[in-house]
Chain A
Amino acid sequence: MYWRLAVTSIRAQMQYKASFIMLSGAQFFSTGIEIAGIWALFTRFGRLEYWNVAEVCFFYGTVNVAFSIADALATGFDQFGNLYVKTGNFDRLLLRPRSVLLQLMGHELALRRIGRFLQGLAVLGWAAHTLGLHMDLWRVMLFVVTIAGSVCFFMGLFIMGATICFWSTESLELMNTLTYGGVQSAQYPFSIYEAWFRKFFTFVVPLACISYFPVVAILGVDDPLGTSRVFQVMAPGTGLLFLWLMVVIFKWAGVRHYTSTGS
C-alpha cells in the first residue's frame, strides 16, 4: 500500500522536472558547504584528535545519507501541525480505513531531499575509497543496519515533533534543534565532544548510538571512548526502539486529542 502512495507522490513531483532539479541542486550546495569547512580545517590542522579527514568524512556521509532518507519520508509528520491538526483534517485521517501512520508517510516522498543524499553519498564514496575499506559482506551488512537504525531514529524524532503538535504547534523549536542540530553534531565523531554532551546523546536521545558507535565498527578501529565491538554493532537497534516508542506515544496522544476535541 505504501508503495502505491510513494509512486503517486513521485509522479506528481516529476511533473515539475525543472523545479525538482533546481531544488535538489540548491540543497546539494547548501548542505555541502560544510565540506568546504572540513577540508579547510583538516588542511590546516591535519588531524581531529584521534581521527583523520577520511574517517570524519565517513561519519559525515553516513549521517547525511540516513537523514536525507528520513527527511524524504517524513514530510507528512513535519507538516503535521499545520496541515492536519490546525485545520482539523486529522479527523479525516482517522475516518479512513487505513492506519494514520501509513497515510502520513504517504503524504509525500520528498525527492528533492536527494540533494543532501547525493552529497552525502559522494563524500561517503570518497572516504571509503581513500580509506581503502574492503567492502566485504560483514561491512556492507553493518552499514545497511546502521543506515536503517539511523533512519528509524530520525523518523522517531519527526514523529515526536508531530506528537507535540497535538498540544501546541508553537513548540517546534526544540525539534529543529534535535534534528538539524543532531545531524550537524553527528557529522563529526562523538568522541571529540564534552562528556555531558556525549552522555545526553547516548542515553537520552540515542543519536550517538546510530551515528557514532556503529561507524566505529564499520571503520574497524578501536573506539577512543572504550566501547566494545559487540556494543557498537548492537547500537543501531536503539534507533528502532526509539522509533517504536515514539509511534506508541503518537497513537496514544492521537486518541486523547480526538476524544477531547470531539466534533
Chain B
Amino acid sequence: MRGYWSVVSARYRALLQYRAAAFAGFTTQVFWGLIMVMVMLAFYRLGSGRQPMSLAQVVSYIWLGQALLGMLPWNVDREIQDLIRQGSVSYELVRPLDLYNFWFSRTIAFRTATTTLRSVPMVIFAMFLLPTLGAPRWALMIPPNAQAVFGFLLSLFCALMLACAITMLMHVVMVKTISGDGLNRIMPSFVTVLSGMVVPLPLFPDWIQPFLNAQPFRGLVDVPFRIYTGNIVSTDILLNLLSQVGWALAFVALGRWLLNRSIRHLVVQGG
C-alpha cells in the first residue's frame, strides 16, 4: 500500500510543475462559465412553474463544473500512452507491483494534479470575486448546510475513483489496440453529456430521467454537484454514494479483466 501511495505523491508533485499549462485554461473557463450562466439566466427568466433545480443551484453547478473540469475522464495520461506506444509496457510488467494498481495510482495523481491547480483560482473567482463585483446571483454558492458539505466531500472522492476507473479503462483499451484512438476519441463526448457537464441532468426531459439515473456517468458530475447545492438530500445522498462506488468497482473489475487478457496476448513493438 505504501508503494502505491508513494507513486501517487511523486507523480502528483511532478505534475504540479506544469503550473503554466494548468493556469492556461483559466480565462477560457471563466469566459465559458459566464456564457453558460447568462444562457441559463435567460432561460429561467421566462420560466413558468417549478423546475427540478433552482436557478441558484444551476449557476453553482456550472461553476463547480468549470472548477473540477480536470476530473472528467476525457483524456488519458500522456506518459502511459507513450509507454504503450513505445513498447516500454514490458518494463512495467517486470516491476514488483501489480500493473493495474500501479497505473491506477498514477491516474489518481494525473486527475487530481491539474484539478487542484485550476479549481482554486476558479473557486476564488466564482465564490468571492463575483459577489464583490456586484453579481451575487452569478456566484458559486456556499453549501447550504453541513450535510451538503460532508456529502459533497465524500461524493467528490467517489467521483474521483469513478473517473480514474474510467480513465484506466481507456488506458487498458490502448494496450489492446495500441492507438485505441477510435473509442478513446468518441467516448469522451458521450461521457461529457451523460455526466451532466453540458446541461445538469435534472433539466433533461422527464421521460429520459429513468435512463439518466441508471447510467454510471452521472456519478462523475451530477451526483456530487447536486449534493453540494442541496438538490439531493438525506438518505438519497447515501444511495447515490453507493451507486458511485458500485459503478467504480464495476469499471475497475472490467479494466483488470481486460488488462489481464491483453497482457497474455501482448505483442510488443520495438524496444
Contact = CB atoms under 8 A, between A and B. Distances in A.
A185 B26 contact: no
A1 B172 CA distance: 47
Contacts of B34: 197
Interface in B179-195: 181-182, 185-186, 188-190, 192-193
B51 interface: yes
Contacts of B120: none
A199 interface: no
A26 B193 contact: no
Contact of B46 (A22, A25, A45): A45
A33 B189 contact: yes
Given A29-B186, A173-B25, A194-B38, A41 B43 contact: yes
A201 B64 CA distance: 26
Interface string B194-236: 0000110001110000000000000000000000000000000
A48 interface: yes
A43 interface: yes
Contacts of A48: 39, 42-43
Main secondary structure on B side of the interface with A: helix
A95 B188 CA distance: 44
B38 A25 contact: no
Contact-size category for A: 20 to 34
A174 interface: yes
A224 B52 CA distance: 30
A30 to B, nearest CB: 5
Interface in B144-183: 181-182
A25 B27 contact: no
Contacts of A173: 24-28
Contacts of A49: 42, 45-46
B3 interface: no
B91 interface: no
A180 interface: yes
Interface string A56-99: 00000000000000000000000000000000000000000000
Identify which of A44, A170, A176 gathers the most chain B CB atoms within 10 Å of its CB.
A44
Interface in B17-51: 20, 24-28, 31-32, 34-35, 38-39, 42-47, 51
A174 B186 CA distance: 28
Interface string B63-80: 000000000000000000
Contacts of A170: 20
Given A49-B45, A49-B46, A192-B38, A29 B189 contact: yes
A47 interface: yes
Interface string A21-50: 011011001101110110011011101110
Given A29-B190, A33-B198, A193-B38, 18 more contacts: A22-B181, A26-B189, A30-B189, A37-B193, A37-B199, A40-B204, A40-B205, A44-B205, A45-B46, A48-B39, A48-B43, A49-B42, A173-B24, A173-B28, A185-B31, A188-B39, A192-B39, A193-B35
Interface of B: 20, 24-28, 31-32, 34-35, 38-39, 42-47, 51, 181-182, 185-186, 188-190, 192-193, 198-199, 203-205
16 contacts: A23-B185, A25-B186, A36-B193, A37-B198, A37-B199, A41-B43, A43-B205, A44-B51, A44-B203, A48-B43, A49-B45, A173-B27, A176-B28, A177-B31, A180-B28, A181-B28
